[in-house]
Amino acid sequence: MSSESSSESEVKNFTDLNLNDRLHKALDKLEYEMPTPVQAEAIPHTLAGKDLMVNAETGSGKTAAFLLPILQKLVTNQAPNSATRALILLPTRELARQVLKHCNDLMAFTHIKAVVITGGAEFKYQQAMLRKNPEIIIATPGRLVEHLTRNSIDLSDLEILVLDEADRMLDLGFSEDVLRIASASPEQRQTLLYSATLNHKGVRQVASEVLSEPMNLTLNRVQDGHDSIRQQVVLADDIKHKQRLLVRLLEQENAEKTLVFCNTRDQASRLAAVLKYHGLRAAVLHGEMEQDERNRVMDLMRRGQLEVLVATDVAARGLDVKGIELVVNFDMPRSGDDHVHRVGRTGRAGVDGTAISLIKSNEWNLMASIERYLKISFERRLVKGLEGKYKGPKKLKSSGKAASDRKRSESSRKNSSKKDGDKTKQRHRDRKSVGKRRAPSASNQDARSDLGDGFAPLKKRKDKEQDSE
């Protein structure tokens, strides 16, 4: 049984939350003036001890929404002889490091200790850290299960379990591990599940097993997108044309930091090389890179020493880098949800941002279906001097009508010729699959492996650890 809440919160200011002075001091230092909507809704219920299912995006302030009440509980009810008291499970190493940083900022004036336990780091070193019984563990599920199996972790005192980015975590094939971890922790614990969408089969199933009478907090649906982001499309003829467009757009936008998304590792590496050739401070981030190299690139980006980061979805999942003013889809993402995750890297915490998608003819239908899924219409942008031959589907060109008319044009094309039947079916499937992950095909082998465990069956997850842990 779950109850719903989507009403406007009574909480307007951080002072309404009655948090410990040490936490207020940290909030002042971070210059957080008032709680974001997810914080205003979720913090009071978490402090009241409820199990929660919250649909909140990266960028909404969700991390502090679960960290602040955890810290409040740990500061007010001290238990020096306890083993670990709070465990945050999340899908990727980068997100783990990011949450640790956020946690360290918020608990800067307390004596609480938090550690990160993920793949890609030395097991023995982690065992030594765990022996010190840190109050908070931030972990990816695979490595945590290894510690459970080798008895190097004690969850018997766990008070709060958080499943952060639960949809992503389960897409990566971690549901068995999450269930195993939940069953190793006390039944009377509090469990908080955060996910971009709650309407996800895996999330609902895991929630039914690990949460107890949860309250559903419906804040913003993934389709609501981000109001502070301008979304544009530029039509392109081919990859070379896209490369020229990108270089020109980077000049025109003059953004301090830009994130460019590609669907494959190869494409990302090639593109980063092209951008460097054009004198831009660019680097690539993908799941096959060594963890140290990934960390180094992220640090350069955070410190503003890179202008452009070319990334694949898996590597950039959930990343919170301040000051990304521009996001470019060099390749159109394969689902509406991926699109939202990508463009959400800009326009964070209410700051304006721009997202530009470069569209070749074979990406038009995908773009149109993402528009329908998100109920938005992308603004068409022309790049002077670089206009290509491709101007959109023929029907549209002659009618000159807006995005809402595309549907008719597509359906008339669908009926137009029998010999086009197979292609049409493929397009139709593309539209239907927007908002969902697409099944792999032999031809997108590279793309599939870069998207990591999202496509892999459960038992294959270990092969893809590079991308997920």
What number of CA atoms fall less than 13 Å from residue 251's CA on the CB side?
Answer: 11
Shortest reach from residue 95's CB to ligand AMP, in Å: 9
| Sign of the Cα pseudo-torsion (454, 455, 458, 461, in order) | negative
Instruction: Please count the residues of this chain forming the interface with ligand AMP, following the rule CB under 6 A.
Output: 14
Shortest reach from residue 198's CB to ligand AMP, in Å: 17
CA 403 → CA 113, 300, 354, 377, distances in Å?
52, 39, 20, 6
Q: Where are the beta strands (DSSP E) in 143-254?
A: 160-163, 190-195, 215-218, 229-235
Q: What is the 3-state secondary structure (H, E, C) of 86-139?
A: EEEECCCHHHHHHHHHHHHHHCCCCCCCEEEECCCCCHHHHHHHHHCCCCEEEE
Under 8 Å between Cβ of 150 and 159: no
Shortest reach from residue 321's CB to ligand AMP, in Å: 9
- Judged by DSSP in three states, 258 sits in strand
How buried is residue 334: exposed, middle or buried, by Cβ count under 10 Å (0-12/13-18/19+)?
A: buried
Shortest reach from residue 166's CB to ligand AMP, in Å: 15
**Cβ-based nearer residue to ligand AMP, 50 or 62:** 62
Closest CA to 275 of 263, 291, 286, 259: 259
Distance of alpha carbon 429 from the chain centroid:
25
Task: By CB under 6 A, tell whether 344 contacts ligand AMP.
Answer: no
Shortest reach from residue 191's CB to ligand AMP, in Å: 19
Q: Which residue is nearest to ligand AMP (CB)?
A: 63
**Cβ-based nearer residue to ligand AMP, 55 or 58:** 58
**Cβ-based nearer residue to ligand AMP, 313 or 320:** 320
**Cβ-based nearer residue to ligand AMP, 32 or 174:** 32
Choose the stretch contacting ligand AMP; rule: CB under 6 A; options: 32-40, 162-170, 273-281, 394-402.
32-40
Choose the stretch contacting ligand AMP; rule: CB under 6 A; options: 35-43, 185-193, 228-236, 261-269.
35-43
Closest CA to 446 of 355, 343, 331: 331
**Cβ-based nearer residue to ligand AMP, 32 or 373:** 32
Shortest reach from residue 111's CB to ligand AMP, in Å: 22
**Cβ-based nearer residue to ligand AMP, 37 or 393:** 37
CA 375 → CA 187, 428, 429, distances in Å?
42, 18, 19
**Cβ-based nearer residue to ligand AMP, 318 or 336:** 318
Q: In the set 128, 349, 439, 458, which binds ligand AMP (CB under 6 A)?
A: 349
Shortest reach from residue 23's CB to ligand AMP, in Å: 12
If phi > 0 it is left, if psi is from -120 to 50 it is alpha, else beta; for residue 88 that is beta
**Cβ-based nearer residue to ligand AMP, 33 or 213:** 33
Q: In the set 320, 453, 465, 467, which binds ligand AMP (CB under 6 A)?
A: 320
If phi > 0 it is left, if psi is from -120 to 50 it is alpha, else beta; for residue 364 that is alpha
Q: Which residues pair with 257 in a beta bridge?
A: 324
Shortest reach from residue 179's CB to ligand AMP, in Å: 25
**Cβ-based nearer residue to ligand AMP, 345 or 372:** 345
CA–CA distance, 70 with 413 (Å, rounded to integer):
55
Shortest reach from residue 448's CB to ligand AMP, in Å: 27
Task: By CB under 6 A, tell whether 32 contacts ligand AMP.
Answer: yes
Residue listed under structure tokens 């031809």? 443
Task: By CB under 6 A, tell whether 265 contacts ligand AMP.
Answer: no
Shortest reach from residue 195's CB to ligand AMP, in Å: 13
Q: In the set 97, 348, 360, 372, which binds ligand AMP (CB under 6 A)?
A: 348
Binding to ligand AMP, residues 51-110 (CB under 6 A): 58-64
- Judged by DSSP in three states, 289 sits in coil
Give the residues lining the site for ligand AMP (CB under 6 A).
32, 35-36, 39, 58-64, 320, 348-349
